[in-house]
Chain A
Amino acid sequence: MDFLNALVAFLNFVFIPGLAYGSQLALGALGVTLIYGILRFSNFAHGDTMAFGTMVTILVTWAMQSVGIGFGPLPTALLALPFGIAATAVFLLLTDRVVYRFYRQKKAAPTILVIVSLGVMFVMNGVVRLIIGVDDQDFADGERFIITAGEFKTATGLAEGLALKTTQGVTVITAVITVAALFWFLQKTRTGKSMRAYSDNEDLALLSGINPDRVVQVTWILAAALATIAGVLYGLDKSFKPFVYFQLLLPIFAAAIVGGLGSPLGAIAGGFVIAFSEVMVTYAWKKVATYLLPESMAPEGLVQLMSTDYKFAVSFAILIIVLLFMPTGLFKGKSV
């Protein structure tokens, strides 16, 4: 029975990775949910929007590194982030002007818009692969750890180490700042309020003189910012690979639906629900169990519910459970 070591092992292998991953998913799901709330379709191109924004950020990071600009112990990518957001926003506004606007004015069915977003996904995917290729890109620099496992052990004298990567810290702090800024914008500013009004009731919003084009434009800019930040944080924490970003669509959609499509608060909750379930179901609990249980009961196997290869199955299972038992999600989203 060694409660303290068990707790440290749990924090190190489950809580901190889950928190970082959850923040990334929450930011991604926020983008999906915003687009759903305002534009009223599920944007299948969101994963590739993340990839696009991250790609621009990586390119700017490389340029900065080559001329010797750094951000001290923090990753240079954070300095490059605004450029990534700006480029993605321009790209999304352009897509809206060229592609989506036509269907919006025609009041096309949501499924048609989803298929249109598939076309956009193809184009974005092609652009990303064309420019940066399909391989893994590692662009994290600066200090690797805030605390290494070794330092933690010497400092506390515990047998179990607790490592906190810089990217994990950066992820959580950036996510908190981003979410706070987003909620401030939605709750306090005039544009934010008009967005919420438009999302709640389009006709009434139009009647009270809200300019729909402006609402849509701001939505795309916010979606670009959220997607790029989510993508860069994910890329810093793990690595950047275009195909992986496409696959992130599933957990992101699952998070948005679990929280309730169209509900920003739900998207955040959903992101953490998905991330923690994924990490907890695929983590081998042997280490924690060995510390907690008396020696005679120590487990022989890995005490792992599912192999990590099936992490998609976790988000999928949660998605199905939510669809079956509460189709509007935890926070009562839209279910048109």
Chain B
Amino acid sequence: MNTRNLILFAGVAGLFVLTGFGWSWNLALSILNMALLSSIMAMGVNMQWGYAGLFNTGVMGFTALGGLAVVVTSARPVAEGWAAGGWTILFSLFLGAATIATAIFLYNRMPKGRPRALTVAAVLLVGLFVFRHFFDPAVAAVEAFNPATYGNIGGLGLPALVAWPVGGLLAAAAAWAIGKTALGLRSDYLAIATLGIAEIIIAVMKNEDWLARGVKNIIDLPRPWPVPYEVALQQNETFLGMAASWGFNPVTGSTITVKLLYAGLFTAVLVLVILLSELALKSPWGRMMRAIRDNEVSAAAMGKDVTRRHLQIFILGSAVIGIAGAMMTSMDGQLTPGTYNPLRYTFLIWVMVIVGGSGNNWGSLLGGMLIGWLWLIVEDLGPGLMGLITSGMADGWLKSHLIDSAQHMRLLTLGVVLLLVLRFSPRGLIPEK
């Protein structure tokens, strides 16, 4: 940590303080929480890109899987839904997995040729029909139960904190499947494959109503352990007493307390991630990773299994993204698959990594906080700012169009920022040592 970096971090901290004094602490803290989460995601991407040079464009998908994990683990179970078809759905999913496993087994064991191709195709086709035979009626039964409020099987009802590592596990499993197929091929194939898997994950979450109610959204997810509900705080005697003696409004105070607690939790996770990855980066394993990134051929000549190491780091980075995705969903208290957008959840994270400095965890943190702040502050203040700029114009079509389009300005701005950084300071704000 040299002085220049300290000044950079102090500057970003100053932005948040300025937001607090200039607008409201509520706004500053919500931006801070989102920025912290984005920073964790940026660290996951940085592991893949900065340590290993892997280009993952499916960040959104891993984030969404983390969110799904929250529903699966910590949402309240819907007993009627389970009774209607929960077990049959699980059974048919197991059948589907068994079919694929059998197909892979046969493919590996049978001699190459037409009989193998035909057998594998037949196994897959029969498996599909058997799967649909069990799956379709069970799904219909589950979704028929009280579709206005439920229509799903619910989760396990476990504490929300348990859901975070589960989010990492889900994302890791998806990363394993993708990495197995696309790693070891040309570098941009991984980008295209991850772009696709992200779209498919979102499509599954939007359409499989039995799982998490699809676009009807799951609301009212439980909060993680130390965070209370605002309403409960406002009725709490001790809290009201504190509010009276310190002289703050209990309503504003309660929302700020909740956000502060979230910020504390997120910071704890962030510190853990940064600590572990710094330790890993400085270990022989980290040196090997960078050696592979800088020259795959010579690393392979030294006996390193490049594809395997790539798979390893791809899974690790995706797991970190999944954890952050789970944290985000538990903070929101709801899962809304319709809001996942690749520009926001994939490419924005990439801008954070590149601007901050790829290969450097502190850079990702700085980039996450800075770009996160910029992105959200424009969302809140953009229309007002545009209104100020256009205040001299006559009311009419153009003016309202400009005010409406203020939020699209940030895409443009971010693109320009990304291009400028890549061109003039490709190592980012805090370069790799």
Residues of A within 8 A of B (CB): 41-42, 44, 99, 102, 110-112, 114-116, 118-127, 129-130, 133-134, 246-247, 249-250, 253-254, 257, 301, 305, 307, 309-310, 312-313, 315-316, 319-320, 323-324, 327, 335-336
How close is B261's CB to chain A, nearest CB, in angstroms? 35
- Contact, CB under 8 Å: A122 / B414: yes
| Known contacts A313-B200, A320-B181; A119/B189 CB under 8 A | no
- Contact, CB under 8 Å: A111 / B195: no
CA A96 to CA B422, docked complex, whole Å: 15
- Contact, CB under 8 Å: A110 / B128: no
- Contact, CB under 8 Å: A110 / B187: yes
Checking B199, B354, B415 against A123 with a beta-carbon cut-off of 8 angstroms, the contacting residue is B415
- Contact, CB under 8 Å: A119 / B418: yes
Residues of A within 8 A of B191 (CB): 42, 44, 111, 114
CA A114 to CA B195, docked complex, whole Å: 13
Task: Pick from B4-12, B235-243, B282-290, B342-350 the stretch touching chain A.
Answer: B342-350
| Known contacts A130-B409, A249-B195, A253-B192; A336/B416 CB under 8 A | no
- Contact, CB under 8 Å: B182 / A129: no
Checking A249, A305, A324 against B128 with a beta-carbon cut-off of 8 angstroms, the contacting residue is A305
Residues of B within 8 A of A110 (CB): 187-188
CA A199 to CA B168, docked complex, whole Å: 43
Checking A99, A116, A127, A250 against B196 with a beta-carbon cut-off of 8 angstroms, the contacting residue is A250
- Contact, CB under 8 Å: A130 / B419: no
Checking B182, B192, B419 against A120 with a beta-carbon cut-off of 8 angstroms, the contacting residue is B419
- Contact, CB under 8 Å: B418 / A118: yes
Is the C-beta of B394 less than 8 angstroms from some C-beta in chain A?
no
Residues of A within 8 A of B393 (CB): none
Can you give 20 contacting A-B residue pairs, CB < 8 Å?
Answer: A99-B419, A115-B55, A115-B350, A115-B354, A116-B422, A118-B350, A122-B418, A126-B415, A129-B405, A129-B408, A130-B408, A130-B412, A253-B195, A309-B206, A310-B200, A312-B196, A315-B196, A316-B196, A323-B181, A327-B186
- Contact, CB under 8 Å: B203 / A310: yes
Interface positions of B from 409 to 433, Cβ below 8 Å from A: 409-416, 418-419, 422-423
| Known contacts A111-B53, A312-B196, A312-B200; A123/B412 CB under 8 A | yes
CA A250 to CA B197, docked complex, whole Å: 10
Residues of A within 8 A of B182 (CB): 320, 323
Residues of B within 8 A of A120 (CB): 415, 419
CA A118 to CA B416, docked complex, whole Å: 11
**Nearest-CB residue, chain A, relative to B358:** A115
How close is B129's CB to chain A, nearest CB, in angstroms? 10
Is the C-beta of B278 less than 8 angstroms from some C-beta in chain A?
no
Checking A99, A133, A246, A316 against B404 with a beta-carbon cut-off of 8 angstroms, the contacting residue is A133
Residues of A within 8 A of B416 (CB): 119, 123
CA A14 to CA B402, docked complex, whole Å: 42
Known interface pairs A111-B55, A115-B55, A124-B415; 19 further A-B residue pairs with C-beta atoms within 8 A, sorted by A's residue number? A119-B415, A119-B419, A122-B351, A125-B411, A126-B414, A126-B415, A130-B408, A249-B195, A250-B196, A250-B199, A254-B196, A301-B136, A305-B128, A310-B204, A319-B196, A323-B189, A324-B181, A327-B189, A336-B186
| Known contacts A123-B419, A310-B200; A111/B187 CB under 8 A | yes
Residues of A within 8 A of B207 (CB): 307, 309-310
Checking A112, A115, A116, A250 against B195 with a beta-carbon cut-off of 8 angstroms, the contacting residue is A250
Residues of A within 8 A of B419 (CB): 99, 116, 119-120, 123
CA A110 to CA B192, docked complex, whole Å: 14
- Contact, CB under 8 Å: A122 / B53: no
- Contact, CB under 8 Å: B405 / A130: yes
How close is B116's CB to chain A, nearest CB, in angstroms? 12
CA A312 to CA B415, docked complex, whole Å: 26
**Nearest-CB residue, chain A, relative to B192:** A253
Q: Mark B258-272, 1 if CB is under 8 A from A, else 0.
A: 000000000000000
Checking A118, A319, A336 against B192 with a beta-carbon cut-off of 8 angstroms, the contacting residue is A319
CA A306 to CA B206, docked complex, whole Å: 15
CA A119 to CA B414, docked complex, whole Å: 8
How close is B140's CB to chain A, nearest CB, in angstroms? 11
CA A130 to CA B398, docked complex, whole Å: 11
Residues of B within 8 A of A312 (CB): 196, 199-200, 203
How close is A303's CB to chain B, nearest CB, in angstroms? 11
CA A124 to CA B408, docked complex, whole Å: 11
Residues of A within 8 A of B412 (CB): 122-123, 126-127, 130
- Contact, CB under 8 Å: A316 / B55: no
Is the C-beta of B193 less than 8 angstroms from some C-beta in chain A?
yes
CA A130 to CA B410, docked complex, whole Å: 10
CA A324 to CA B197, docked complex, whole Å: 15
Residues of A within 8 A of B57 (CB): 44
CA A118 to CA B405, docked complex, whole Å: 21
Is the C-beta of B185 less than 8 angstroms from some C-beta in chain A?
yes
Interface positions of B from 134 to 156, Cβ below 8 Å from A: 136
CA A118 to CA B347, docked complex, whole Å: 8
How close is B414's CB to chain A, nearest CB, in angstroms? 6
| Known contacts A120-B419, A309-B203; A125/B192 CB under 8 A | no
